[in-house]
Amino acid sequence: MINKRFLFMTGLVVALFGVTQPAVAQVELGLDAGVQVISFDTDFDSDNLTQIGIPVSNLRVGFFISPSVEIEPNFSLQRASSGGSSATEWDIGANLLYHFGDDPAMTRFFVAFGPSLVVASGGDETDSQFGVTVGAGVKIPASDLLLFRLGAGYTKFFEKENELVGLNVFTFLFGFSVMVE
């Protein structure tokens, strides 16, 4: 079941920024390797969890709605198994990126904000959690169509009806993008 807050935040991003000028018809297809450090909002001591995604931990597609504004849906999938048990987690988000500078041929810094939804299943249980992501990074052009990208972000996944504890996810990504017109 998709979280109502996730749908509201995604609709709000599209409504607020989808009405701007469609002056740029570029699409950015990207893949990222990454490291995530996850801490839990609990009253007891618990260790952090670290996930490393190499060669690919995140798939993203960016749609430019102006030279400096981009809407970027993203998706990641993780699967783990140990001792006869397994778990699957997928994360989907929709970030709004603002680029400092209008020229994609130049190195540009960006900031990002958007909703995120994680769905985890293991055994006979499946559950979801809503979060909000903020981040920043830099895009470094290697050619007219290829960009390298470095970024860091923080996602706060909120506690869910006393069933799931809140999560704090710190993400560090390195990736590349191909520009398509």
The average pLDDT across 74-90 equals 84
pLDDT at 90 over 60: yes
Predicted local confidence at residue 53, as pLDDT: 79
Predicted local confidence at residue 130, as pLDDT: 92
pLDDT digits (tens, 9 = 90+) for 105-140: 899 999 999 999 989 888 788 888 899 999 999 999
pLDDT at 62 over 70: yes
Number of domains in the chain: 1
- For residue 173, what are the contacts with CB-CB under 8 A and spacing of at least 6? 32, 33, 34, 57, 58, 137, 149, 150, 151, 152, 153
Predicted local confidence at residue 23, as pLDDT: 47
Q: What is the mean pLDDT of the chain?
A: 84
Cβ proximity of 67 and 102 under 8 Å: yes
**Is 31 within a domain?**
yes
**Is 83 within a domain?**
no
pLDDT digits (tens, 9 = 90+) for 5-61: 665 656 555 555 544 444 455 899 999 998 988 887 765 556 777 878 777 888 999
**Is 20 within a domain?**
no
Which residues form the domain of 30? 4-15+25-78+88-180
- CATH number of 143's domain: 2.40.160.20
**Is 107 within a domain?**
yes
Predicted local confidence at residue 22, as pLDDT: 45
**Is 175 within a domain?**
yes
